[in-house]
Amino acid sequence: MSTGESITVMVKYARAKGNALPFKFSASETVFDLAKAIKSNADDFGLEGKDIKINTVDIFTRSEDGSKLCLNFGNELGAVKAKNSEVEFDNNPSEYIELPVKYIHSVNPIKLRIESSKDVIDLVKIILENIENFRLSEEIMEKIKTPGNEIRLLRSTGNEEYQPISHQTRVAQMATEIIEFELVTSDMKDRGKPIELSVTSTESSETVLLECRENDMVHNMVALIKEKIDKFKLSSESKDALADRSKQIILSPVPSKKGAYVGVFDAFQKLGELKEKNIQLRIVDRKKPPSIEELAELCVDQKIAFFGAVGHGKSSTINTVARAFPGVQDSIAETSGGEAAGTHVVSPHTFTIGNKTFHFIDVPGGALPMGETTANKEKLRKIISWIVDGKFPEDLPTNYWDESNTVEGLFKYITGKNMGKVDAVVIVHRGYAPEVEVITRIASDVAMARGRGIPVFGIITNIDKLKDDAEIQDKIEYLSLAANIDEGSIYPLSNIQEGPTSSQLGGRDRDEYVLCMLRSILSRSKRYKLKQHVKLK
Ligand SMILES: Nc1nc2c(ncn2[C@@H]2O[C@H](COP(=O)(O)OP(=O)(O)OP(=O)(O)O)[C@@H](O)[C@H]2O)c(=O)[nH]1
Ligand SMILES: [Mg+2]
C-alpha cells in the first residue's frame, strides 16, 4: 500500500449501541492520529472532547472470538486497515502501560501498549500479534511462526546475561525495564541453547570444536565424539579398540599446568553446567566386570537387605543378579505375576562363591505396614530397625502383627533364627512409580542413622518402561533427593530387558552391568562390616 493512499476506517464507541462511523485518513497516518480524530469528533459519538483523553483512550479491534486486540499508537493505519475494517475505542479503559520490548539481537526496542494488570502470557500474545513491527529477518519470522516454537521473555541483568521472566509476572512489575524476547525452538526447549566445547585428545593432541546443547549430558558428548572420531586423528589401534568396546572414551577437565589429577566428568552432568569449555579426551581400558575370583574376594558373609514397596521388583532384581553369574540360569526368589504381593516371607538367599558367601535378604513389601499415618510410619520404622539391627524385642506380643495385617513370614523371620545385623541396604524403587513410597524414605533413614551409616544403594527398576535416558536420569535425581541416596549409588535396571536399556549401562550388557553393581555393593558392605568389627573389639 502506498503511503499517500487514502483509506476509510470504521470507528465505533465500545460503550454505545450505535453503528461504526467512517473516518478518512491517509494510509501512513497512525493510530495516534486516529485517537486525535476521535477526540475532535467526540460529539459524533455522543461524547464531549474532554471525555476522551489521548493518553488513556483504548483503541482496539476485535478478534473473531470477541477478545480485544489493543492497537499501538505508533502503528500505521494502513497496516491496521489491511487486517481489519472496524476499530473500537473506549474512553474509560483500564490503566495502560507502554512497554519497550525488543528482540534479543535487535538494537532498538518498540513500544507496546498493554493493560498493567496483564501478565507475561498476555504480553507474549501481544508481541506475536505485533511481530511484524519488530523488523525481524525472514528466517527468524519463519521460525517464530513454526508451530511448537515459541518466544520467551527475558530481562537483561547486564553483561549480556539474561534471566527469564516468570509467567506470573504482571506487566505493572516490568514497567521500568526493557523487555527482551528470544526465540525458543521446540528442539531448544528440550536440549537447551547451542554451546560449543573444545575437546582435546591426549593421544593425538588434536583439538576439535564441537557444537552441542546446554542440556545435553556428558554421555551425549561421548556419543558425538564417537560420531566425529575421525577428526581426532587417533591411531587405528585406538579406533579398533573403541569399535570392539575393549576401550572406552573418558572425558575430564584439562588438568592445570601443575598436572593435578582432576577427576572424570560424571556421565549425567549437563554440558551447560561444566565450568570448563575445554575438555580432555582419553581412551582407556573399559572398566571390566569383576571376575568370579574378584567377587569371591569381596565376600565376607555380609547381609544385604532389600526393601521396597509391593511389586517394585526386589525379588526380580535378586534373580537378575543371580542369573548374571556365569552359567546360572535359575531364579532363586519368587516374584509376583502382577499387582499381588509376590514374596510372603522374609527370604534370605545365600550366594556361595567358592567357599565364600554373601546373603541377600528379600523383605516382602506386603509384610510391612504401608499406610501414611503417623502410627503406621512409627511401626514401620520400628520393624525396619529390628530387621537392620537383626535384633527383636523378646517380649513382642504374638498379636503385634495382626493389626497391621502383616504376614506370618515376617514374624517367623523375626522370632526365629534371623540373619543378624545387616551390612548394606538396597532400596528398590519402580521407575514409573509416581512418587517415592514411605518405606523407601524410612529404610534409608534407618540405615543412615546406624553407626557410621550403613551403606545405602538404590535400584530403579522397570527402566524399560521409561521413555529415554533423560527420564531415567530424572528418576535417579528424584530418588536421590527423596531418599537421600548418593546418585552414584543408584542403579537403573531392567529386570525384563537384557539388552542395553540406558546409556547408564555404559555399553556393557546387563550381566556385566549387574556384576559391576554387585562389586560396588559387596565392596562397600565389606568395608562397612569390617569397620564395625574393628569397632566392636
Ligand atoms: N517391565 C518390567 N517389569 C518388572 C521389572 N522388575 C520387576 N518387574 C515385574 O514386576 C512384578 C513384581 O516384581 P517382584 O520382583 O515380584 O516385586 P517385589 O518387589 O519382590 O514385590 P513383593 O515381593 O510383593 O514385595 C513382576 O511381575 C515382575 O515381572 C522391570 O525391570 N521391568
Ligand atoms: Mg518379592
Atom 24 of ligand 1 has which residue's CA nearest to it?
Answer: 341
Backbone φ and ψ for 375, nearest 5 degrees, come out as -60, -45
Q: What cell does 465 get?
A: 518402561
**Interval between CA 330 and ligand 2 midpoint (Å):** 16
Which residues neighbour ligand 2 (ion) by CB within 5 Å?
314-315, 342-343
List, in sequence order, every beta strand (DSSP E) within 185-340: 194-201, 207-213, 247-253, 278-285, 303-307
Angle (CA) 388-344-434 rounded to 5° is 75
> Is residue 424 within 8 Å of 433, Cβ to Cβ?
no
192 Ramachandran zone, left/alpha/beta (phi>0; psi -120 to 50): left
Report residue 18 CA to chain centroid gap. 56
Could you read off the pLDDT tens digit of each residue along the chain, which spans 537 residues?
455 788 899 999 988 888 899 999 998 888 889 999 999 999 999 888 888 888 778 898 887 777 778 888 888 888 877 666 789 999 876 778 888 999 998 888 888 988 888 888 889 999 998 998 898 999 899 999 988 888 999 888 776 777 888 877 888 888 778 899 999 888 777 788 889 999 999 999 999 999 999 988 887 898 899 889 999 999 999 998 887 667 888 899 988 766 566 678 877 678 998 888 899 999 988 777 898 999 999 999 999 999 999 999 999 999 999 999 876 766 777 777 666 667 777 888 999 988 899 999 999 887 777 777 888 888 889 889 989 988 877 777 666 655 544 545 566 776 667 788 999 999 999 999 888 888 888 998 888 877 667 899 999 999 999 988 788 888 988 898 888 887 778 999 999 887 555 555 555 578 888 998 999 899 889 988 887 666 544
Q: How far apart are CA 401 and CA 411, in angstroms?
A: 8
Strand, coil or helix: 489: helix
Q: What cell does 384 get?
A: 525396619
Can you tell me which atom of ligand 1 is nearest the CA of 309? 25
Q: How far apart are CA 477 and CA 475, in angstroms?
A: 5
356 within ligand 1 shell (Cβ under 6 A):
no
Q: How far apart are CA 234 and CA 208, in angstroms?
A: 12
Q: How far apart are CA 234 and CA 372, in angstroms?
A: 58
The DSSP symbol for 217 reads B
Radius of gyration of the chain (CA): 34
104, 110, 116, 118: CA torsion to nearest 10? -50
Atom 30 of ligand 1 has which residue's CA nearest to it?
Answer: 462
- Burial of residue 26 (CB within 10 Å: 0-12, 13-18, 19+) is middle
**Interval between CA 365 and ligand 2 midpoint (Å):** 7
Report residue 399 CA to chain centroid gap. 46
**Interval between CA 346 and ligand 2 midpoint (Å):** 9
Collect all residues with Cβ–Cβ distance below 8 Å to 474 and sequence separation of at least 6: none
**Interval between CA 315 and ligand 1 midpoint (Å):** 7
Across the chain, which distance is largest between two alpha carbons, in Å?
106
Q: How far apart are CA 441 and CA 481, in angstroms?
A: 10
Atom 11 of ligand 1 has which residue's CA nearest to it?
Answer: 311
Domains contained in the chain, CATH given = 1-93 (3.10.20.90), 194-285 (3.10.20.90), 292-536 (3.40.50.300)
Q: Give a three-class secondary structure readout of 10-51.
A: EEEECCCCCCCEEEEEECCCEHHHHHHHHHHCHHHHCCCHHH
Nearest residue to 284 via CA among 269, 303, 268, 264: 264
Can you tell me which atom of ligand 1 is nearest the CA of 428? 19
Report the DSSP pairing between strands 456-461 and 86-90.
unpaired
Q: How far is CA 92 from CA 50, 54, 319, 494, in A?
A: 12, 11, 75, 65
335 within ligand 1 shell (Cβ under 6 A):
yes
Report the DSSP pairing between strands 278-285 and 194-201.
parallel
Q: How far is CA 468 from CA 220, 236, 352, 434, 504, in A?
A: 12, 33, 36, 17, 11
343 within ligand 1 shell (Cβ under 6 A):
yes
Q: How far apart are CA 518 and CA 509, in angstroms?
A: 14
To test ligand 1's pocket by mutation, which of 316, 380, 475, 505 has the most ligand atoms within 8 angstroms of CB? Answer: 316
How many contiguous H segments (helices) and E segments (strands) does the chain have?
Answer: 15, 20
Residue 476, CA atoms < 13 Å, CB-side half-sphere:
21
193, 159, 101, 146: CA torsion to nearest 10? -10
310 within ligand 1 shell (Cβ under 6 A):
yes
Compute the residue count for the chain.
537
Query: What pLDDT was estimated at residue 398?
Result: 63
> Is residue 427 within 8 Å of 444, Cβ to Cβ?
yes
Please, what sign has the CA dihedral across residues 218, 223, 224, 226?
Answer: positive
Collect all residues with Cβ–Cβ distance below 8 Å to 383 and sequence separation of at least 6: 368, 369, 406, 410
Q: What cell does 305 get?
A: 537387605
Beta strands across the sheet bearing 6-13: 21-26, 6-13, 86-90, 58-62, 68-70
Q: What cell does 130 get?
A: 505485533
| Closest ligand to the CA of 461 | 1
